[in-house]
Structure 1
Amino acid sequence: MENISLMGLHCHIGSQIFEIQPYIEAVNVMMKFASIIKKEFEADIPEIDFGGGFGIYYSDGDSPLPKKVIAESITDCVKKNADIYNLKRPCILVEPGRSIIGNAGTTLYNVGAIKNIPGIRKYVIVDGGMTDNIRPALYRAKYEAAVANRMNSSDCEVVTIAGKCCESGDILVKDINMPKVNTGDIISIFSTGAYGLSMSSNYNGIPKPCVVLVNDGGSYVISKRETYDEIIENDIIPDELKRI
């Protein structure tokens, strides 16, 4: 194509996918599209990005596919289609994102107030919430949690872990069975390595938490805790208002 250097094609079919068939269908569609471009414009497609969406384990019912199965299935299907349509085999790109980092992250919260509403539910309110993890409010995402400072306690109860943002949707984990929680306990919520910090906000003027890397017995702060001064450092008061 004159004046155009076509480098590749891209698709994205969704998130938290636990079956291989959707990827096979995506490869079939994209390779057929590549053959149409080849036929109509005599242009080869050097690379195809098949996106991501590889599911990870968050809670019961999640069954992630082995990465080797995904890689081999996509590669074999690309080779098959290349032979069918007489195409050069493109460079294969994927976007593993969440599947790399999701399970590596755990968020720790301090328990503040505990509110029991008889016949309704018991709320455990922590010092974070939808500002550091918006996914439960946005998508009704489910997580598993534990009382980090009493992991082996057997005295359990059903509670709902809520944030401190004064929003009805600020629920991190709803109706979870866990060891009896007391004010001052540390709650750990697992698999928060993806779409936590990257989707965090300063809603209600809440500073973002620090991020600590733990490796081989060592711990390292890799993103420092935000301060209130840093939240307002870009705010400007016009001179005229200063005189009021």
Structure 2
Amino acid sequence: MHLQFTTPEGQAIHPQFDQLVIAGWAGRDAAAIEHHIEELAAIGIPRPSAVPLYYRVASNQLSQRETLQVLGPDSSGEAEVFVFTHGGELFVSLASDHTDRKLEAHSVAFSKQACIKPVATQAWRFADVAAYWDELVLRAWIVENGAEVLYQDGPLASLRTPLDLIGGYTGGAALLPVGTGMTCGTVPAIGGIRPATHFRMELHDPRKNRAIRHQYHCALLPVVA
């Protein structure tokens, strides 16, 4: 799966992905992890077998389109940092771990596989933000009853760093293998996890007053039997 990203300098990069890893339960704070576990338990999703947990998803689920098709009305997004290796460097972008919440109650792995993972079209070099990584902020908005509401808002200080997650997945390597993309966990949903067809997200850099942004709309397909 080929994606295209543009850096702040205007460079276009075209990495190819043949592996996609969803790093779940990626919080640094045990209390915050437990909050998210309880948040999901409230909608019937079982506790994880390990923390963090690395889910594997087909790379063809990556998409940079702004209109997606999903089966039924029970899915929702989660804003997450997305990292990958290109040209010997680690790059940072933004993705949504869009997930079927009804299916998630039966199998988290299958629920993640069932939905496309939207990805932004901008990317930063990790080296350019590594020194103040904890200050970066994830935010997301959904549309409810015709109005946009804040759905997620939290600093990356609450999550494990990409280097920590990459090391846990690779057994200690500092970079992901070329062709592998990884999402790096999320911050809690404000008001609880709930379905939404419109999702807007950003990774904000307060020092340089810039952001990676992406939004998408889900067209619902009927569930027939």
TM-score (norm 2): 0.21
Q: Pick the structure with more strand per residue.
A: 2
TM-score (norm 1): 0.20
Relative contact order, higher structure (CA 8 A, sep 6+):
2
Of the two, which has the highest radius of gyration?
1
